[in-house]
Structure 1
């Protein structure tokens, strides 16, 4: 079932007598219960898109639907009721510095008219969910960045939302703390059945957390697919560049210069192919020398993406045969250096 749908949404701003198009005819369908990611460089329009989903940013044109209901022109009490079901967390936490952690969450409950007699129990429940029960009386200044973001998540969940919007929620955190937040969001998605929309420029987070991904460039969605497909077989040139920065193996110039003969090849192989004894098979059947100079295997959504850089040496005709055989067993093959042939 589609939880969030954007139909041909555009957002334009007037700036110094000129019109800026931040979002250009974006259409998306986000399914109930999934973790959907939007990735791209700074200025791509990611934050603007996600803010249209709760109408913090009203589209210039197009339509926003939640559970099939067009909310684009909702106002007043109607808009307030919609926003109660959409929690949001931010990069910089946005906690009230002169209030305790418990009072920060209590403030969100009061603002949404949560039943007064149940508020304190709800605060306890939420802090237990994010593993901060012992911090109820502490102030934000006494918490680490990861703990502050956990409070931000607890506050966003205060009114039992169906949707959680995350705007660069891990960008201000170190690697270890980011992993903790990812684990927490996965738990929330799994246990509470929340639909999560997460925008980021961190491809490591995208690879680790998202079920599906939309890639944005210059205000437009240039590619959308399952996370494994985006990382394993990117189609658009910008996606290839974005993924390449994260996934590709870097070959030092010194390595290319080291081999006076033969060729350097970069291989990408996906899923079941990643487990095949490729090098051994080629060596047994073709009289060439094969050596692995660099390689790694990563797992996305339980499926493998393998990348190898190999050196192939021997007679030119045999090298050609080896390349043909390898090409038929991998998903992509790129010639990096020609050595002496």
Structure 2
């Protein structure tokens, strides 16, 4: 297999510039020195892993560049996470040896988790952050970076947003909508709450049942185009009525442990509820947020050991990371 190489253009593009600076060659050389190590690792072997190999090598170089400068997107990320969640990183218990102004094994483990957990249209699965191979390879990469930490040059031109976009980091999680005393609500919501006896959630097992509700309780026109025909291919609906309007989550009722939900299934929740936090558009975010804030998703868990605690304790970060613009989206 031909030896891979990362070229300067890839490095400068990640920095959002075309001009080469004095420190770029040093960090690009580091990425290329790491590349064969990554390519020969158990986790990233094989021709089909070439892009991941490059991403790991580049991410490690970007990480070191930020750490040496004690600035940049990595520093922004960990301090934001500390401010919002009380610790510097999701998932990982940090030892007394963790130093936010230097390099750390846990940081590199998180980098590998992030690379192995694609987002958006590329979402396929979630890496186990405690995977044995991941942690062992993080140690290998850490030793390589630690060996050059003191000799690495300080860059004044760091890459923006390579770890997490600033806008997404600082997107505020809004409180759930609450009706104010005397507030006039939309007609659909008033009719919904009348039909639900004031309960904010209702559950429907089929599109026909949902359609019947639209016509008989919400008083919609009994015409195909008026009854959200795109929902006809789904089942297991949750309808959430709040002062902003009605939200409909298709194919998710089986995940909500509500006293009024006859479709709830512990087995299905344990197997698939985590996808609501990871797959864009699968569940309206306000509905997901309502479920978590009212303890209606107690069996949501990642599909690996200790997956329940890892998701339940980090759910807001996970949703923000994977859902992107859908996190508190319109």
Would you call these one fold, judging by a TM-score over 0.5? no
Q: Which category describes the TM-score, using the shorter chain as reference length?
A: under 0.3
Comparing both chains, which one has the higher relative contact order based on Cα–Cα distances under 8 Å and sequence gaps of 6 or more? 1
TM-score, length-scaled by structure 2: 0.22
Give the number of the structure whose alpha-carbon radius of gyration is greater: 1
Higher strand share: 1
TM-score, length-scaled by structure 1: 0.21
